[in-house]
């Protein structure tokens, strides 16, 4: 009971540095990911999946501190913050490219570090991310696809190459 009172008073006074286990600050950062078919933002906590011929659902998805810390650390280690903001824009769009191929975007912010990168599908319609951002995209996709809320969503009926 005494520990509960100390913790409650600590939170009320916003002075918790003296209580072991309560000094850890939450991880602060922004991750926004848009493939044209799926979108996710840590700002809104919404994961959207375009179903094309069906109603497109949104689900609430929150990253744990560990997951966000992992993404932000990887962005720093892989040099994401120094990657050019426009990787593979082709103009005019090749005729074989599907319509969803012009909206790929990844934005990551962590304190003073930030970058937003955009890319298109390849001229043949392949939607593999460019090498400069592929490790980040694959890591984010893996984390999002591990979430029960995302796994419970129906498969998209959008045609992707």
Instruction: Look up the pTM and report it.
Output: 0.73
- Render pLDDT for 6-39 as a digit per residue (tens, 0 to 9): 343 334 444 444 445 555 566 789 999 888 778 8
Domain boundaries, the chain: 25-151
CA distance 111 to 132: 22
For 41, counting Cβ atoms within 10 Å of its Cβ (0-12 exposed, 13-18 middle, 19+ buried), the class is middle
- In this structure, what token pair is assigned to residue 71? 């993404």
Length of the chain: 161
CATH class of 25-151: alpha beta
**What's residue 148's pLDDT?**
95
């Amino acid at each position: 009971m005494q520990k509960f009172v100390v913790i409650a008073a600590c939170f009320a006074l916003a002075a918790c540095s003296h209580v072991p286990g309560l000094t850890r600050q939450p991880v602060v950062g922004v991750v926004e990911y848009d493939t044209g078919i799926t979108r996710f933002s840590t700002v809104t906590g919404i994961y959207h999946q375009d179903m094309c011929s069906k109603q497109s659902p949104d689900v609430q998805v929150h990253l744990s501190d560990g997951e966000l810390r992992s993404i932000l650390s990887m962005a720093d280690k892989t040099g994401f913050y120094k990657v050019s903001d426009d990787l593979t824009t082709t103009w005019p769009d090749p005729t074989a490219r599907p319509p969803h191929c012009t909206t790929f975007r990844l934005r990551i912010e962590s304190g003073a570090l930030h970058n937003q990168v955009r890319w298109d599908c390849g001229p043949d319609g392949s939607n593999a991310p460019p090498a400069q951002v592929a490790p980040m995209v694959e890591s984010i996709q893996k984390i999002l696809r591990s979430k029960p809320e995302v796994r419970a969503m129906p498969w998209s009926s959008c045609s992707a190459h």
